[in-house]
Structure 1
Amino acid sequence: MGRARSRDTEHPQTRLDHGGIASVVPSEFGGGFELVVDGTPQSHVDLEDPTHLHFEYVVRMGAVIDQLPPGPLTAVHLGAGALTLPRYVEATRPGSRQQVIELEAPLVALVREHLPLPRGAGIRIRIGDAREGVGRLPAALRAQCDLVVSDVYSGAQTPAHLTSLEFYREVAALLAPAGVLLVNVADGPGLAFARRQAATIAQVLPEIGILADTQVLKGRRFGNLVVAASASPLPTEWLPRMLAAGPHPAKIAQGAEVRDFVQGARIVTDGDATASPRPDASLFLR
């Protein structure tokens, strides 16, 4: 997550259907552009180098994607902001087939116009709610996806209906036997929400890894955790060394560490699901 910005009328912007203003602004972090929604950076895109991933949790997602077997991927992205990860997969896995489900049509139009996709990219964008959109995907995708990414936010929170056991069952039905689900989970001290999310995902996809900054993983500050999950053992043999080396040092918890992490956490169902915690505004003031 980045530093909050004042509302800027000098750069391309649009009003979203569900409230708020989205704009595309030059990045302050060494090239590229940022998609900013109501003052908070949501995505970073480098049109000259789509493999340049700036935000820490996106770097970690990219590291997991790099561990998947070589060659083109079949991927579904639930929420994609400025399409950072679809662009990354397109650049690193030419010939990949990708579907993106995004709620906000005005946001997609803004991104298409001012941060255009590479010509010929195999990326199809569908407008609609992520959960409803999963149910409307072509039947041919069922049990065929190498990768599903869930990174959906309404404002600064993940909507409650995208956090439940029932939702994750629907998503898992898209995955091939060795396919991987990546979920961006934001939480703060205590990690009550993240623990419930990991426990819930593990009910559906038992092979779990949790990637995060060490201080976030210990529940000492608010931040993003990436939950990687599969029905098959995760391809993470070289990942711990890569994460420790940077550029954003982190670790991956697996096995006994994950079991300890989720111990006592209740499974989330549609009946008791809640949105993710809202970060304190000071988080964005660096």
Structure 2
Amino acid sequence: MTPEPLTSTSAGSAESSRTIIWKQSRKWATNLMSPQLKVKILVFASGFVSLGVEITASRLMERAFGSTLWAWSTLIGLILSYLSLGYLLGGKLADKFPSPALLYRLAFLAGLFTGFIPFAAPALFTLISSTGPAGSLPNFISLIAFFLGMALLLAVPVTLMGSISPFALRLSIRDIGEAGESGGTIFALSTVGSILGTFVSPFILIPFLGTTRTFLALALILIAASFLGIAPSARGRTLLYLLLATGTLPLGLKAKIYPPARGQVLFEGESPYNYVWVIQSGQDIYLMLNEGFGVQSLYNPEEVLTGGIWDSFLLAPLFNPPPFSPAEVKSLCLIGLAGGTISRLYTQIYGPITIDGVEIDPLVVEAARKFMALDSPNLKVAIDDGRHYLSRSAKIYDVIAVDAYRPPYIPYHLTTREFFQEVLKHLSPRGVVAVNVAHTPSDYRLVNAIASTMASVFPSVYVIDEPPSDHPIANSLIVGTASETRPENFPLNVAFVENPYLLEVAKRALPEVKIFVGGSSILTDDHAPVEHLTHLTILDYLRGKR
């Protein structure tokens, strides 16, 4: 008997195996993207994007209001208000229209409106930057308009994102006995997404993409999550959704931020700390931050002096007992290096002394090196916070200059008694510290507060006012000496000055020098309301108290 061939049986077995594998793969794929899983992915994405939008929106708020406690509290309050409204809206909609399709459309709209934010924000910056010359106080109405504009920009996307979790919870509950577990899962996924959004946005997205592209990336994440549900249910309308997303989101890439002053823009870029501008007008090159309420540095290759408060820093050593020679100044620590205006002045007047320049923003240093000749061999740059730098340093300096401003605010931790106690540890016996403080022509509240604080640490404190002008913002230089000194030291030392530039600055300042005698509360790490004092100054100015 001839044996039957085995080929047909083998082929049938192979086909049967392929069929089983195909069916199992289809079942696995179906389970992998089940309706419940799609909802969970959407909840996670909405949590991630909602906190990402909050962190990224802070970059927009900082350009107008600075990185202040007030600005952050306002932003957090807005976000929480919109999320609360979204929770209420989502719950009501879910009970009335418990449709997964509606949930995904709400998420799609939230992503779409998130993508609109960088397109509309530049118009707000143009509004506040066009109200006055560079360095002037912002118009109060424009600030209110900016705040309301930001509130409106965030209202729709954040409210819609808030509606996603309660809507998803309604769809997830199939058995009342599992309501607790379903709610816990939804809340946990949303919270985990929010935690990741809190860290990923400032540490990865903003540094590598910038603010505009971060908003667009967040928008795309939410839109992609919404398409998991839209694509199977919308059928022929899926193409319409795609066209709507691809046609509107690129608008954000075309958004233009206008420079804060007239002139040629040599450089603009965004760092984790600031939006940095380098602008040239004639021979003057300005370093400005964010909306340009103040000039951080000025460089003119054909001039030595600037005519601004930076020149006054040269006078700080002249409060020592006479006769004081410029040759006695051997070292300088500059907190707030910026474009290197002060370090360049000290090098030109006092020679190639040792200078340690501390600047927290690496992009500022990069721009200054490229456009503002920040290349002196005697200057060593440290990318660090000024107070942190001093706390880790064992160096002693003859002069410590503090010019760390994000106009109109000065970082509170650089104004307290504890900070100045740290400064004193790093001064030589004849060392001096000089701090730049802004004020209006008639309001010295912040100057007095910082001077009083310094007087609690240093034996002698002096104030050098800028000569009177029509400018709405004035500056004072507060000088503290490590050893006790006398007011007459300054004019006596001016008589020995030989350098013509230093002499010019000294003579200009002579009528504006006065010893500080106290009369204000002392700022501490526990209580330093410098932002509040700044707000009071601005409000009084706007009310006509000049």
Partner of 2:178: none
More deviation in 175-184 or 185-194? 185-194
What code does the residue aligned with 1:44 have?
Answer: L
Describe how 1:190-201 pairs up with structure 2 within 5 A: 190-201=443-454
Partner of 2:403: 151
CA contact (8 A) 1:99 1:126 kept: yes
Return 5+ residue gaps in structure 1 as ranges: none
**Offset at residue 53 of structure 1 (A):** 2.1
Report 1 or 2 for greater relative contact order, CA contacts < 8 Å, sequence distance ≥ 6. 1
Q: For 2:505 and 2:357, how far apart are their aligned partners in 1? A: 27
Q: Compute the RMSD of aligned alpha carbons.
A: 3.1
Residue by residue over 1:126-162, the C-alpha shift from the partner in whole angstroms, topping out at 9 and shown as x without a partner, is 111111111122x2x1xx3110001111342101111
Does structure 1 residue 252 correspond to structure 2 residue 513? yes
What code does the residue aligned with 1:11 have?
Answer: L
Partner of 1:271: 526
CA contact (8 A) 1:243 1:250 kept: no
- Is the strand fraction higher in 1 or 2? 1
SS in 2 for 1:81: coil
CA contact (8 A) 2:459 2:480 kept: yes
Q: For 1:130 and 1:209, how far apart are their aligned partners in 2? A: 22
Q: For 2:361 and 2:287, how far apart are their aligned partners in 1? A: 13
Partner of 1:3: 133
CA contact (8 A) 1:11 1:24 kept: yes
What code does the residue aligned with 1:130 have?
Answer: G
Residue by residue over 1:186-235, the C-alpha shift from the partner in whole angstroms, topping out at 9 and shown as x without a partner, is 1234422211111110111121110004669xxxx742110111022264
- Bigger-Rg structure (1/2): 2
Q: For 2:359 and 2:413, how far apart are their aligned partners in 1? A: 15
Q: For 2:363 and 2:430, how far apart are their aligned partners in 1? A: 35
Describe how 1:60-75 pairs up with structure 2 within 5 A: 60-65=312-317, 69-71=325-327, 73-75=330-332
- Is the helix fraction higher in 1 or 2? 2
Q: For 1:52 and 1:242, how far apart are their aligned partners in 2? A: 9
CA contact (8 A) 1:24 1:33 kept: yes
Q: For 2:477 and 2:371, how far apart are their aligned partners in 1? A: 29
CA contact (8 A) 1:27 1:44 kept: no
What code does the residue aligned with 2:366 have?
Answer: A
Q: For 1:202 and 1:212, how far apart are their aligned partners in 2? A: 17
Q: For 1:187 and 1:253, how far apart are their aligned partners in 2? A: 16
Does structure 1 residue 167 correspond to structure 2 residue 428? no
What code does the residue aligned with 1:127 have?
Answer: I
Cα distance 1:249–1:175, how it changes in 2: closer, same or farther (>3 A)? Answer: closer
Cα distance 1:147–1:245, how it changes in 2: closer, same or farther (>3 A)? Answer: closer
Partner of 1:133: 389
**Offset at residue 267 of structure 1 (A):** 1.1
**Offset at residue 118 of structure 1 (A):** 4.3
Aligned partner (choices 215, 218, 224) of residue 475 of structure 2 = 224
Q: For 1:64 and 1:108, how far apart are their aligned partners in 2? A: 25
Q: For 2:266 and 2:473, how far apart are their aligned partners in 1? A: 30
Residue by residue over 1:18-62, the C-alpha shift from the partner in whole angstroms, topping out at 9 and shown as x without a partner, is 24x22212246xx3311122323221112344x32231x222222
Aligned partner (choices 428, 439, 458) of residue 205 of structure 1 = 458
CA contact (8 A) 1:14 1:107 kept: no
Aligned partner (choices 112, 132, 135) of residue 369 of structure 2 = 112
Residue by residue over 1:143-186, the C-alpha shift from the partner in whole angstroms, topping out at 9 and shown as x without a partner, is x3110001111342101111100000001111001111001111
Describe how 1:32-111 pairs up with structure 2 within 5 A: 32-38=284-290, 39=292, 40-49=294-303, 51-55=304-308, 57-65=309-317, 69-71=325-327, 73-111=330-368
Percent identity over paired residues: 21
Cα distance 1:244–1:48, how it changes in 2: closer, same or farther (>3 A)? Answer: closer
Residue by residue over 1:58-88, the C-alpha shift from the partner in whole angstroms, topping out at 9 and shown as x without a partner, is 2222233567632252110000221111111
Cα distance 1:11–1:215, how it changes in 2: closer, same or farther (>3 A)? Answer: closer
**TM-score of the aligned structures, taking structure 2 as reference length:** 0.44
Q: For 1:86 and 1:243, how far apart are their aligned partners in 2? A: 16
